[in-house]
Amino acid sequence: MKDLLRIKSLISSDIEALLNQQVKKEAFSSSVYLAMASWCNRNGYDFSSEYFFKQAEEERHHQLKFYKYILDMGGNAVSPEITGIKQEYNSFREVFEEALDQEISVTNSIKNIYARCMKEQDFITMEFLNWFLKEQREEEYKARRALELFEVIGEEGTGRWQIDKHVGQIKYDSEA
Amino acid sequence: MIATTELTLWTDVFSTKTGAVYQCDAERCWYVDFAGKVARFDHRNFLKLRKAVYAIDIEEKLLNTTTDPDVEIIFICACDHCYVLSLAQIINLKELLEGTFVMLELNHIIHDRLFSNSL
């Protein structure tokens, strides 16, 4: 008896489900960052708003990368339904705290898929995920650095104005 | 009743008292003999059938006290077949599909371990 499921698809249905979950997670992240960009813009933090617009764009790009991978491997990519996006924040700092939480959650989720791939010996998906693992290094660094600015600069006086200005300059260019 | 000539081309994947699933390598599809008919499913539709059946919350249906008849319509988009099943039949179909996918998984492991390594 031929292995028909394998002929049609390179990834197992479990991996496919996890990847689809990740598509949703990336789409959710993109929407969260968009809401953050809006909040920052409304409250006069223009550089941070721009920073979150860029982040939203990146997350959307990640979503499409997962989406196309599932299709290329013969799976069924599911366009996700995104609801429950928080639109209001109590403070400028809270926005960045939640951005870091969001990135940590994405990293954990990718680690989880990677662990499952190791169990199944799905080296092809593992190789695909390597790009994301590296990307998460940058994402978490940027989110952590933004929060660090609150400590280093402080929020008193023109502190928030300074923080906003520096958020726009955060870069991660480690080649390692 | 399935003709014997057809049966020789089909491999028995899994069967229960209420139904059976056969695989046809030549046509790269599966035949599901259930609820009085033999329906042909290609790869995509077979997975969609599994998803549709697994998604039915049997416990919720058992506890449901409304006067609706205990009948579920399983319709798969872009597929010629549709099932109208009672609660007991849904349980039977779920059992049949679960067993089938375990067997297909087992077949995959065998291919993976034996045939790929021998090349």
pLDDT tens digits for range A31-69: 999 999 999 999 999 999 999 999 999 999 999 999 999
Q: Tell me what pLDDT residue A8 has.
A: 86
Q: Tell me what pLDDT residue B5 has.
A: 56
Q: How far is CA A171 from CA A62, A98, A146, B101, in A?
A: 19, 19, 10, 48
Question: CB of B113 within 8 Å of any CB in chain A?
Answer: no
Contact A30, A59 (CB under 8 A): yes
DSSP structural state of residue A87: -
Q: Cβ separation of A3 and B23 shorter than 8 Å?
A: no
CA distance B32 to B80: 13
Tell me, yes or no, whether A176 lies in a domain: no
Q: Tell me what pLDDT residue A19 has.
A: 97
Contacts with B78 from chain A: Cβ below 8 Å: none
SS3 A55: helix
Residue % of chain A over a pLDDT of 90: 86
Confidence of residue A114 (pLDDT cuts 50, 70, 90): very high
Question: CB of B44 within 8 Å of any CB in chain A?
Answer: yes
B95-115 average pLDDT score = 90
User: Residue A59, Cβ neighbours under 10 Å: how many?
Assistant: 24
pLDDT at residue B119 tops 60: no
A138-160 average pLDDT score = 93
Return the H-helix or E-strand segment holding A70.
helix A46-72
Tell me, yes or no, whether B3 lies in a domain: no
Tell me, yes or no, whether B6 lies in a domain: no
Residue A77 sits at φ, ψ, to 5 deg, of: -80, 130
CA distance B34 to B3: 16
Q: What is the pTM of this model?
A: 0.84
SS (H, E, C) A107-160: HHHHHHHHHHHHHHCCHHHHHHHHHHHHHHHHHHHHHHHHHHHHHHHCCCCCHH
pLDDT at residue B102 tops 70: yes
Enumerate the known binding-site residues of A for Fe cation: 26, 59, 62, 103, 136
Query: How many domains would you assign to chain A?
Result: 1
Q: Tell me what pLDDT residue B62 has.
A: 83
SS3 A18: helix
State which residues form the domain around A26: 1-168
Nearest to B11 among A1, A6, A76 (CB): A1
pLDDT at residue A155 tops 80: yes
CA distance A96 to B17: 59
Q: Cβ separation of B111 and A6 shorter than 8 Å?
A: yes
Tell me, yes or no, whether A127 lies in a domain: yes
Query: How many domains would you assign to chain B?
Result: 1
CA distance A89 to A96: 10
Tell me, yes or no, whether A119 lies in a domain: yes
Question: CB of B43 within 8 Å of any CB in chain A?
Answer: yes
Tell me, yes or no, whether B4 lies in a domain: no
Tell me, yes or no, whether B34 lies in a domain: yes
Tell me, yes or no, whether B65 lies in a domain: yes
A120-130 average pLDDT score = 95
Of A92 and B72, more confident: A92
Contact B93, B34 (CB under 8 A): yes
B38-97 confidence digits (pLDDT tens): 999 999 899 999 999 999 998 888 888 777 777 888 888 888 888 999 999 999 999 999
Residue A106 sits in a domain of what CATH number?
A: 1.20.1260.10
pLDDT at residue B2 tops 70: no
- Comparing A1-5, A74-78, A102-106, the range with the smallest average pLDDT is A1-5
Tell me, yes or no, whether A173 lies in a domain: no
DSSP chain B: ---HHHHHHEEEEEE-SSEEEEEETTTTEEEEEETTEEEEE-HHHHHHHHHHHHTS-HHHHHH--SSS-SEEEEE-TT-S-EEEEEHHHHHHHHHHHHHHHHHHHHHHHHIIIIIHHH-
CA distance A79 to A83: 13
Tell me, yes or no, whether A175 lies in a domain: no
The residues, ordered by sequence, that sit 6+ positions from A2 with a Cβ below 8 Å of its Cβ are B23, B25, B28
State which residues form the domain around B93: 11-116
